[in-house]
Amino acid sequence: MPLKIRFCEHNKGKGKVVRKLEEEFPALNIKIKDCVKQCSSCREQPMAVVDKKKVSGKDGEDLYAKIIELIRKDTDS
């Protein structure tokens, strides 16, 4: 079952990350929501919720790398 990845509409830096993930992994369940209920983190740094776990990075590239790591772990198991 593909990972569920949720981004907050208000999170800065999500655009490139979402585009890259959709290009490389079209089967992923990616959605941009009005809010992912992580406001304090969302304001401070790029973040996403991957299968109900918060994942954040110091910038978009870092966030992307962390999500890719989770995708690889998920496909290995």
DSSP string, 10-34: T-TTHHHHHHHHHHH-TTSEEEEES
pTM of the model: 0.89
Taking alpha carbons only, the member of 6, 4, 1 closest to residue 48 is: 6
pLDDT at 53: 93
Q: For residue 71, what are the domain limits? A: 4-76
pLDDT at 75: 78
pLDDT at 38: 87
Mean pLDDT, consecutive 10-residue stretches, the chain (77 aa), reads: 88 91 92 91 91 94 96 82
Number of domains in the chain: 1
- Could you tell me the CATH number of the domain that includes residue 59? 3.40.30
pLDDT at 18: 95
pLDDT at 31: 95
How many helices and strands (H and E) does the chain possess?
Answer: 3, 4
